Structure 1
Amino acid sequence: MDGLLSHVLDAHGGLDRWADTDTITARVSIGGPIWAVKGWDGALTDETVTLDTRRERTEFAPFTAPELRSVFSTGPERVTVLTVDGHIVEELSDARDAFAGYLRATRWDRLHLGYFIGYAFWNYLTSPFLFTWPGVEAHEIEPWREAGQEWRRLRVRFPDTIATHSPEQVFYYDSEFMQRRMDYVTEILGGTLVAHYSGRPKKFDGLVFPTWRRVFRRNQDGTSNLSLPSITIDIDAITVGRGGSS
């Protein structure tokens, strides 16, 4: 295992504690101007997201209306909108193909929205432990200086079996091995270059998660446009489910 990754895993609670984790449930507020562009301004300000740590599956409730929830899963990729009592309202298989030809300004329907937040939050809340999954490769690369600090970096390559923003991403860590930034290309947003910052780490049942995230446009030279975040994410609380609990 890469040396930096080993330190990062230990700092976030360790693989042994993660191995006992079945589910993660978080109260989140998702904002930013991108949602108005996509036709969903204010739709995600009070969400409960529950994810399965053993497979890529994420549920959001409420989802765009008080009586609805969304479920994203892979194997194959599928996004479903259901009523709270389980009646299927809409469903889409091979969901990523539905974004073909879409640009940053293209409006999304409810299934597009469910797909994006479904895979994105599963990746956010399972990292860095996700980097130990079969087929995922993580290696330290040269450090980066920003805000008067030097951050160590992991280049992570994901297999096709994991739905994520882009196959290759870079994760930045401070001297305490906490994630400060991640770089990726949002393929389903027309190939947008992104610098995604995170902070305010907190411990929940022995596992450490960032509770503050801000997403900015990234320049070709690696610098960021920090004037206005396109997406904001704030986490109020996280519950870790073990041994079949949630």
Structure 2
Amino acid sequence: MNDLLATAIAAHGGLDRWNQIKTIQVDAEISGAFWQMKGQADAMSRVRFEVDTTQQQLTMDYLTQDRRSLFRPDRVVLQRPDGTVVGERDDPERSFAGHDFRTRWDQLHLAYFTGEALWTYLNTPFLSTWPGFVSAEIAPIEADGETWRRLRVTFPDHIKTHTRTQVFCFGPDGLLRRHDFTIDIVDPATESQLYATDYRDIDGILIPATRRAYTTLGNDRIVLVAIDMADITIA
């Protein structure tokens, strides 16, 4: 483990504590212009999701729609609260072929994207200690009056995520400040920056309860993605 990854792991609660955890449960509101472009503006106004920290799996309850999704790398499923399956898709990543930034999504597209995204976000930075992950510190940057150390992480092929190589920026305290990436299934040419703030100590693990991605339109700064976590528990 390189020095920056070790520093980040320690700052977020340490690997010993993390390895005692199996799941993270979150009540959240997820909004922003990105979801409007995808035809899913209000789909996640109230959601409850559970992230598995031992394997790539995430379940999400859409509390305003009496609907649940189950994400795994090779399959997504939509269910009613009673477990009745109302939609399913094998090899879901293939369904994004030919898409661009403004292509509208159906509910299974949404379930896949939010599954791989939120699973990555909530397992960071501990995920980078898994077998098959390759990380290296790259040149720091100056941002928001701080020096941010940067970790370039290459994900193994079997993990579904935004793109193979991503960059994580950490502040002087070792906490994640920003996550830089492109999104292969949306637009691999467009760089995204997701800011992490409002850290909470959840039984010894530090988790940012607020995340924001922005874009500019003329003189306006527009929120592309907003993730606001109201309640976070670990088990």
- The TM-score bracket by the shorter chain reads over 0.9
Give the unaligned 5+ runs of structure 1. 219-224, 242-246
CA RMSD of aligned residues (A): 1.5
Q: TM-score, normalised by structure 1?
A: 0.91
Match of 1:95?
Answer: 92
Equivalences for residues 227-238 of structure 1 within 5 A? 227-238=221-232
Measure how far apart 1:46 and its partner are: 1.0
Contact 2:13-2:204 within 8 A present in 1 as well:
yes
Match of 1:150?
Answer: 147
Contact 1:216-1:226 within 8 A present in 2 as well:
no
Q: Secondary structure at the match of 2:54?
A: coil
Give CA deviations for 1:219-243 in whole Å, capped at 9, x if unaligned.
xxxxxx98112111111121101xx
C-alpha distance in 2 between matches for 1:148 and 1:53: 33
Measure how far apart 1:142 and its partner are: 0.7
Structure 1 counterpart of 2:81, from 67, 74, 84: 84
Equivalences for residues 194-213 of structure 1 within 5 A? 194-213=192-211
Aligned residues: 232
1:119 correspondence with 2:116 = yes
1:23 correspondence with 2:23 = yes
1:8 correspondence with 2:40 = no
Give CA deviations for 1:82-104 in whole Å, capped at 9, x if unaligned.
11111111100111110001000
Q: TM-score, normalised by structure 2?
A: 0.95
Q: Secondary structure at the match of 1:227?
A: strand
Q: Which amino acid aligns with 1:113?
A: L
Measure how far apart 1:162 and its partner are: 0.6
Measure how far apart 1:41 and its partner are: 1.1
C-alpha distance in 1 between matches for 2:100 and 2:116: 19
Q: In the superposition, relative to structure 1, how do residues 208 and 7 fare at CA in structure 2: closer, same or farther (>3 Å)? A: same
C-alpha distance in 1 between matches for 2:221 and 2:214: 8
C-alpha distance in 2 between matches for 1:145 and 1:226: 23
Q: Secondary structure at the match of 2:163?
A: coil
Structure 2 counterpart of 1:110, from 107, 111, 114: 107
C-alpha distance in 1 between matches for 2:4 and 2:77: 38
Q: Percent identity?
A: 39
- Spell out structure 1 runs of 4+ moving beyond 4 A: none
Q: Which amino acid aligns with 1:232?
A: A
C-alpha distance in 2 between matches for 1:190 and 1:98: 14
Give CA deviations for 1:53-78 in whole Å, capped at 9, x if unaligned.
11000000026x5321000012xx11
- Residues 185-194 or 110-119, more deviating: 185-194
Match of 1:244?
Answer: none
Q: Which amino acid aligns with 2:96?
A: F
Match of 2:36?
Answer: 36
